Structure 1
């Protein structure tokens, strides 16, 4: 009973100390009087990321995020070595707020090696926030045959999140011999096209409709359902005859979403597709186009 009482008492004291620390440093940060060279206080703030109360952990992360770069070295140290997974998770999320490129090596190590899945996913999010500087490492991960699929999936997501900032490297990656690299690059370029509808990203997607890999052709065909790019329409019509069913499905669905009456006749050919699902999608696409035409004044 005595030991448990002391543990409870120590916990209460630590909680009170954390509250006081947040109050004091929060005021300094608000007044822009915080001393970024005060390593002892920065360390206390980082330890506060392990507070048992979720909202208080969030406040510590936000405070460290406002402090910014001076907190990065201690956050990197916590992410790499802290025994408490809660602190490592919060450190990664705080580095996401800061977006400091100097944290990339530590984030990569945690992304690939931390035993905690939440830490790994949070590190991936922080890598995405750091932007273009993280792209080469993410592409290396995707090209590594030893990396598991979940890691590659997070890397591809991070590339898509970075998006336009990484455009130059993404277009170059389309020439990669590695399927995982090309697939992630076209997924990220698809997001750029959806956000911007610029000619370069849309042209890259048109080229991807001829990629030797059906998953990439299907990704490109599907994207044009959300991007109004008229030069793609003849290529989508050709994709209705693609040997792979997923590509045909994506092309038919996208033509229906684009809603051009001139596409009805090519879509009628898909009504004779050997796969029932493609026939059904073709019927739906034709109905979509006809309904939209009737709604026009």
Structure 2
């Protein structure tokens, strides 16, 4: 049974004193992680209106680790106060335990509070590759687009250790899963210069699914220019108008001055909307 925060901490000063005691015990190595009443009190203190107090408690939970998980999961799942649920998800993000994945997924897809959902997504991203199967199930499932968007966001931030399962997901027959995998692979390629990830994206530039193809083209703007330019420039002559538009925007984002004459030549393009996209790309180049 969770303690009532108004009874446990009747004043802000009482909460602050409690948090100071917790931090002092942790710094001295004398915190009793088996004291359930103490951990319940910490959870209830997450209702404090002061962000710095809640942050201090979240950091403390991160130091406590596994013993705090059942109390945080209970609060995330059942607490009536959304502020407590939000901070519980953030505390679980510090602990990064795979056995919390199902609870975090539940919060991400079901909680009525948008901050709770985004905090749960952040915790899932922190867990990394272990959370990918559950996140991909959300992508493939019958969930609202905002929920799928948060799952995609988490997948994209799962880290370089997720590269192999993401490559497998890129071969899925489901477009939503492949798009989410592309986002994650592109981020890994950008941040780590991973050649395998770059090649995986290059391999779907001529994909049969236009949506996948367009996302792959957009991803090239995050690549080194020596890799992206030889792939993007030929796409300016593609028969598909959307492909040409996406390639133009990617060239603008790359910011390489050498493509300016190529883009300027496309201003004479007669196909609808191309010249307007070229102007946007040129303005991006000139702003760099």
The two structures have a TM-score, normalised by structure 1, of 0.84
1:93 and 1:225, CA in 2 relative to 1: closer, same or farther beyond 3 A?
Answer: same
Correspondence for 1:201: 197
1:242 aligns with 2:243: no
In 1, Cα distance between equivalents of 2:241 and 2:107: 39
Q: What is the aligned counterpart of 1:212 among 208, 212, 216?
A: 208
Contact 2:266–2:275 (Cα < 8 Å) also in 1: no
Matches within 5 A, 1:119-158: 119-144=116-141, 146-158=142-154
In 2, Cα distance between equivalents of 1:228 and 1:253: 16
1:231 and 1:27, CA in 2 relative to 1: closer, same or farther beyond 3 A?
Answer: closer
In 2, Cα distance between equivalents of 1:88 and 1:283: 47
Q: What is the aligned counterpart of 1:117 among 110, 114, 127?
A: 114
Judge which range, 42-51 or 262-271, deviates more. 262-271
1:189 aligns with 2:205: no
Q: CA deviation at 1:267?
A: 7.2
In 1, Cα distance between equivalents of 2:221 and 2:53: 44
Q: What is the aligned counterpart of 1:274 among 264, 271, 276?
A: 271
1:57 and 1:266, CA in 2 relative to 1: closer, same or farther beyond 3 A?
Answer: closer
CA offsets 1:76-132 (integer angstroms, 9 cap, x no match)? 111111122221111111111222222111111111222222211211111111111
Correspondence for 1:62: 59
Correspondence for 2:164: 168
Q: What is the aligned counterpart of 2:31 among 31, 34, 38?
A: 34
Contact 1:271–1:282 (Cα < 8 Å) also in 2: no
In 2, Cα distance between equivalents of 1:263 and 1:207: 27
In 2, Cα distance between equivalents of 1:254 and 1:195: 18
Judge which range, 125-134 or 250-259, deviates more. 250-259
In 1, Cα distance between equivalents of 2:263 and 2:14: 71
Q: How many residues are treated as equivalent by the alignment?
A: 281
Contact 1:15–1:51 (Cα < 8 Å) also in 2: yes
Task: For structure 1, list consecutive stretches of 5 or more residues without a partner in the other structure.
Answer: 1-8, 292-297
Task: For structure 2, list consecutive stretches of 5 or more residues without a partner in the other structure.
Answer: 1-5
In 2, Cα distance between equivalents of 1:118 and 1:191: 24
Contact 1:163–1:189 (Cα < 8 Å) also in 2: no
Judge which range, 251-260 or 201-210, deviates more. 251-260
Q: CA deviation at 1:273?
A: 4.5
CA offsets 1:180-203 (integer angstroms, 9 cap, x no match)? 111111111111111122211111
Contact 2:186–2:222 (Cα < 8 Å) also in 1: no
1:31 and 1:250, CA in 2 relative to 1: closer, same or farther beyond 3 A?
Answer: same
In 1, Cα distance between equivalents of 2:139 and 2:230: 32
Contact 1:96–1:126 (Cα < 8 Å) also in 2: yes
Contact 1:69–1:100 (Cα < 8 Å) also in 2: yes
Q: What is the aligned counterpart of 2:40 among 38, 43, 48?
A: 43
Report which of the two structures shows the higher radius of gyration computed on alpha carbons.
1
Correspondence for 1:99: 96
SS at match of 2:221: coil
